[in-house]
Amino acid sequence: MLTFTWAELNREPLVKAMVKLNNCDKLDERTAYRIGRMVQLAGREMEKARQQEFDLAKKYAALNEAGEIIVNNGMPQWKDEDASKAFSKELEQLLHDTKVSFKVHKLDFHALHNAGLTGAEMVALEPIIEGLPEVA
């Protein structure tokens, strides 16, 4: 079982490396299935996180008459400076405090030898790989 916070799941290097693996056609069936499930489950969780972020933004943003968030240059217009700070603080806490567990096994390090991953991608994937070599 793998456990992550929403903040960990939202790390760009991890997400990019998982997507790269998910699109790799050089993995055995077991590894391909595991990464596919991980990406699917992570995607569902990130949708939940985005909905929570939207609901939180609605709490602190200026709203028009229809109750929709007023957006300027792609960003919400906050009610005031305090609202902006409160949103950021509450969102950060939400992302770090919300933990999710996936009933999937870690990926076997040796099953990834043909995946064409860079060192940076392997490091990003450390939380989901078992059998990593010791580094002295």
DSSP character string of 94-120: HHHH-EEEE--PPEEGGGGTTS---HH
- How many domains does one find in the chain? 1
Tokens coding 79: 């009610």
Tokens coding 54: 């939207």
pLDDT in tens, 7-37: 999 899 999 999 999 999 999 999 999 999 9
pLDDT in tens, 49-78: 999 999 999 999 999 999 999 999 999 999
pLDDT in tens, 90-115: 999 999 999 999 999 999 999 999 99
Confirm whether 135 is domain-assigned: no
- Please say if the pLDDT value at position 80 is more than 80: yes
Confirm whether 95 is domain-assigned: yes
Tell me, what's the pLDDT at 132? 87
- Please say if the pLDDT value at position 116 is more than 90: yes
Confirm whether 136 is domain-assigned: no
- Burial pattern 47-82, b for ≥16 Cβ within 10 A else e, equals eebeebbeebbeebbeeeeeeebeeeeeebebbeee
Q: What percent of the chain has pLDDT over 90?
A: 95
Confirm whether 21 is domain-assigned: yes
* Residue-range definition of the domain harbouring residue 17: 2-130
Confirm whether 38 is domain-assigned: yes
Confirm whether 19 is domain-assigned: yes
Tell me, what's the pLDDT at 18? 95
Tell me, what's the pLDDT at 135? 78
- Please say if the pLDDT value at position 136 is more than 70: no
What average pLDDT does the segment 113-127 reach? 94
Tell me, what's the pLDDT at 100? 95
